[in-house]
Amino acid sequence: MGDDLFSQNESVIDVLFAIGDKIRDGLFSDALKYFDVIIEIDNNYPFLYERLACIKFWINREHTIVSYKNKELELTRLLDGYYKLFLEFSKKYDMPADIDIIVDIKAYVFNTTVNILQKEYQTNGNADVLKQLCYALVEIGDYKKAIKGLEYLRECQCIDGNVLANLALAYSKIADDRMTKFYIREALFYDPLNIDIPLLRDNIYIRDIEKIIKESAIQLASKEQLLLWLGVYGEVYNILNIRHALTQKELLVLRKMISKFEADCKRKNLRENAIPRLLLAYLRLVSNLLINGVKNVNEIEFIIRKMDRLNTNLTKIFVENINI
């Protein structure tokens, strides 16, 4: 096998590039054959057998993938599910996140997905297809195109935590800190429980907030609770310090949310989740009133008294930070 494809002067790196080309085309069985060449050159090459295990993971699913050739939308969902399983599978090998095998498999999955969804969206113009397409564009690093689509979705329909969190992720990748903060703040306020945790994992602002939460006395029993409190701590400690005056429509939505969460706080079965949502809504209202100036001091003080009943410690820290 090796004599047919490679000369004696080939390096392991050369062979890995060839393997990567096969993986990116979805030809996992063909890629596996090239490992014989690497073993002949250096059978102790770092992560060689871990790479082999990754290839075999996909070979075991290759027949099913091929069977979906004429069911392209279903294929994108199948690949998404397999990729999530693969990420869990690969963790046990403790490989670097940017190792070639991981990068090449990711490229195969999401380039395949983008190609399918672009055709589908051009044909049908479906918003859900556009959403999945934008998520895949973020994964392959086409951030500007992803942002354009996600902004369009947001303007049309979207109070969707994952749309907003993907916008934050895409803006972070092009080093736009202001828009990163803005969309993290929006996601955590409007739709925190719909955010996929991995979207937040590498965000520097989220890491700062999580550090503060860990150092505080609050006990969070679940990922759900963490998502609900991230926005509160981000506001109180001025980490998500992006302020903008709310439109009349946004202000109306905010006051309706406050009414709902105030009612939920009175119900024992809803109170635990309602408290952070209500606190965050109060914080957003105070921020908006501060933007509008001194004339709103009485209302600000009234809201702060309400906040104090929910969490005295965080209210005190917030008041100190805004100098009231």
pLDDT in tens, the chain (324 residues): 444 555 555 789 999 999 999 999 999 999 999 999 999 999 999 999 999 999 999 999 999 999 998 999 999 999 999 999 999 999 999 999 899 999 999 999 999 999 999 999 999 889 999 999 999 999 999 999 999 999 999 988 668 999 999 999 999 999 999 999 999 999 999 999 999 988 888 889 999 999 999 888 777 878 899 999 999 999 999 999 888 889 999 999 999 999 999 999 999 999 999 999 999 999 999 999 888 765 678 889 999 999 999 999 999 999 998 865
Given 105, 125, 145, which residue is the final one in a domain?
Answer: 125
- Per the CB < 8 A criterion, the answer to whether 286 and 246 are in contact is no
Closest to 131 measured CA to CA, from 89, 183, 166: 166
Residue 3: its pLDDT value, please?
46
Q: Is residue 138 part of a domain?
A: no
Q: Is residue 7 part of a domain?
A: yes
- Would residue 7 be called left, alpha or beta, if left means φ above 0 and alpha means ψ between -120 and 50 degrees? beta
Q: Is residue 47 part of a domain?
A: yes
Given 76, 105, 125, which residue is the final one in a domain?
Answer: 125
- Would residue 293 be called left, alpha or beta, if left means φ above 0 and alpha means ψ between -120 and 50 degrees? left
Residue 167: its pLDDT value, please?
96
- Would residue 125 be called left, alpha or beta, if left means φ above 0 and alpha means ψ between -120 and 50 degrees? left
Q: Is residue 230 part of a domain?
A: no
What is the C-alpha separation between 136 and 113, in angstroms, rounded? 7
Given 125, 155, 174, which residue is the final one in a domain?
Answer: 125
What is the C-alpha separation between 12 and 259, in angstroms, rounded? 64
Q: Is residue 202 part of a domain?
A: no
Residue 316: its pLDDT value, please?
95
Residue 4: its pLDDT value, please?
54
Domain that holds residue 288: 243-324
Residue 85: its pLDDT value, please?
97
Residue 76: its pLDDT value, please?
97
Q: How many domains does the chain have?
A: 2
Q: Is residue 57 part of a domain?
A: yes
Q: Is residue 158 part of a domain?
A: no
What is the C-alpha separation between 295 and 277, in angstroms, rounded? 26
Q: Is residue 104 part of a domain?
A: yes
Q: What are 165's two structure tokens?
A: 């969190």
Show the beta-strand stretches assigned E in 179-267: none
